Amino acid sequence: MAKLKQNNQPITRKQIKLLREFVNHICEECHKHEKEVGKLQPHRIKRGYLGGTYNLRNIKMVCEKCHKLFHYGEF
């Protein structure tokens, strides 16, 4: 797998594609396949303004619905 950037810069589309393949295109939160929920998005567990970076330990690949729930504090 390609190395993710270790700073606060966004990851590349290629890296996102590799991460989607790594999780078998299944949302890490609701466990639904992309065919049901659309393309997965990278979510930083520790937010960027708190020092969270785009690295494998700080990223969950989630669907848009779950991503919104994370940002509205419902998870």
Q: Where are the domains of the chain?
A: 27-71
pLDDT (mean) for 39-44: 94
Q: What is the pLDDT of residue 10?
A: 74
**Predicted pLDDT at 41:** 95
Per the DSSP assignment, residues forming a β-bridge with 43 are 60
Tokens standing for 8? 């606060």
Task: Say if residue 35's pLDDT is above 90.
Answer: yes
- The answer to pTM > 0.75 is yes
Distance of alpha carbon 69 from the chain centroid: 13
11 confidence band (pLDDT: 50, 70, 90): confident
CA separation (Å) from 51 to 11, 39, 48, 54, 74?
15, 26, 5, 10, 21
